[in-house]
Amino acid sequence: MVILPFYDEGYEVVEKSVASLLLANIDHKKIAVVLAAEKRAGQEAVDITRRVNEKYAHRFSYFLITVHPDNLPDEMPGKGSNISYAAEEARKKILDAGKIPYENVLVSAFDIDTVVYPEYFNCLAWHFLTVEHPYKASYQPVPVYNNNIWAAPALSRVVATSGTFWQMIQQERPERLATFSSHSIPFKPLYEGGYWQKNMVSEDSRIFWNLLMANDGDYRVVPMSYPVSMDANLAPTFWATVKNIYKQQRRWTWGVENVPYILFSFIKNKNIPLRKKINLAFVQLEGFWSLATNPIFIFLLGWLPLVLGGRQFNTTILSYNLPIITRDLMILAMIGLIFSAVVSLRFLPERPKEYKKSKKVFMVLQWFLIPITITVFGAIPGLEAQTRLMLGGKYRLGFWVTPKFRKN
């Protein structure tokens, strides 16, 4: 089962995601598609579902269209409430109606810009059939933001590719991995766990924490080491793109809202081993702390002591050596930038004809923007998100849908 929630995205975005399912090397009659629209999106969303249904419904075993009502009690408008509603509708109208056992279904909850590569579902099935206790695991691919990478400006490309690199790193340490964005999960534990959270922003990670608590810590995320393709941030103008990048990063860093839930759940649940509680709590606390502070520390510590230290500090040996140490650290960091640039080139899709070959040079030079992106689009939105959570009330964030824009 593939659930594709959308709000105000255009037909070309929705159509491309559905069409990509037909490129998968799997019997398409084993795929049930759930196209989940929002009532608040109006008639245009209804027209999109009709067009997609007419073009693709006959190619799959089931093609269900759901329309999530607005203003339901105890719900926040957003992806979580939409896909939870869609999953329950699919349970009744597809699984129960077709007498399909829940344990025979793997659910992929995809962002609407997700384009699957040909072997995605085979890779998912292989992991499910070979891991121990497959019903106590979610399955996480690597998001690669390259659908529109050639059209996106340099700032957007760096932020998007950095996100991909981070997810690749997380795949190599699964003990730290939580579900993120597009992911897959067996329907049986999903149903028993009550689906995705309907009243919060970071539903993609909260479903993992919910199931971890429900299974007394015996639940994990299995890294698939296989990509899905998604959109980098792109808007009609450069400054609109910058604004959207910031808002998207702020929404992602709002995942800090999981921390109080995790800590209080660990206190209440006596069945989870203490060592596991400590490890998981430390990873979450240290991760969100580092995200919001490390870039600022790196930016300030090279010169701030010289400014604030006064004459007494400036006459010390440390004062003399600090610029040299900072310079050497920056040279070492350049090695990482060069490596990132080389690896990022391997992720690029085929260059569209309207772009010159010389643009590939800018795909390398863009990595000199890292000091800007990690601060402006990492630390600052992270600090804002954490401050908003601390203040609560009117400062809390709702779900912000990242606009999808495709250049013709």
Say how far apart CA 288 and CA 389 lie, in whole Å. Answer: 13
Name the token pair of 132.
């121990």
**143: confidence class by pLDDT, cuts 50, 70, 90:** very high
| Buried/exposed code over 195-224 (b: 16+ C-beta within 10 A; e: otherwise) | bbbbebbbbbbbbbbbbbbbbebebbbbbb
DSSP 65-91: EEEEPSS-TT--TTHHHHHHHHHHHHI
Higher pLDDT, 323 or 335: 335
**151: confidence class by pLDDT, cuts 50, 70, 90:** very high
Say how far apart CA 139 and CA 219 lie, in whole Å. Answer: 11
pLDDT single digits (tens) 219-271: 999 999 999 999 999 999 999 999 999 999 999 999 999 999 999 999 999 99
Query: What does pLDDT average to over the chain?
Result: 92
**379: confidence class by pLDDT, cuts 50, 70, 90:** very high
**323: confidence class by pLDDT, cuts 50, 70, 90:** confident
Name the token pair of 86.
């869609």
Query: How far does Cα 356 stand from its chain's mean position?
Result: 31
Range in 10-24, 148-162, 178-192, 294-308 with the lowest mean pLDDT: 294-308
pTM of the full predicted structure?
A: 0.91
* Percent of the chain at pLDDT exceeding 90: 75
pLDDT of residue 284: 94
Adjacent-strand bridge partners of 139: 184, 222
Calculate mean pLDDT across residues 306-332.
79
Task: Please give the C-alpha separations between residue 141 and each of 114, 174, 339, in angstroms, as whole numbers.
Answer: 11, 12, 23
pLDDT of residue 324: 81
pLDDT at 301 over 80: no
pLDDT single digits (tens) 40-95: 999 999 999 999 999 999 999 999 999 999 988 889 989 999 999 999 999 999 99
DSSP 299-356: HHHTTHHHHHSHHHHHTSHHHHHHHHHHHHHHHHHHHHHHHHHHHHHHT--PPPTTS-
Widest CA span of the chain, in angstroms? Answer: 80
Task: Please give the C-alpha separations between residue 79 and each of 5, 321, 357, 395, in angstroms, as whole numbers.
Answer: 7, 52, 38, 20
Let me know if 364 is exposed, middle or buried by CB neighbors in 10 A (0-12, 13-18, 19+): middle
Say how far apart CA 205 and CA 219 lie, in whole Å. Answer: 13
pLDDT of residue 163: 93
DSSP 200-221: -S-HHHHHHHHHHHHTTT--EE
pLDDT at 335 over 80: yes
Question: Of 375, 366, 304, which is closest to residue 338 (Cα–Cα)?
Answer: 366
The CA-CA-CA angle for residues 46, 49, 51, to 5°, reads: 110
Q: Which amino acid is at 143?
A: P
**336: confidence class by pLDDT, cuts 50, 70, 90:** confident
Q: Cα dihedral sign for 197, 170, 381, 247? A: negative
Say how far apart CA 375 and CA 246 lie, in whole Å. Answer: 11
Q: Which residue has the tokens 């809202």?
A: 257
pLDDT of residue 74: 87
pLDDT at 302 over 80: no
pLDDT of residue 408: 60
Calculate mean pLDDT across residues 122-149.
96
pLDDT of residue 339: 86
Rg (CA), the chain: 23
Higher pLDDT, 318 or 135: 135
Say how far apart CA 391 and CA 220 lie, in whole Å. Answer: 32
Task: Please give the C-alpha separations between residue 93 and each of 34, 64, 89, 99, in angstroms, as whole numbers.
Answer: 11, 8, 6, 10
pLDDT of residue 308: 77
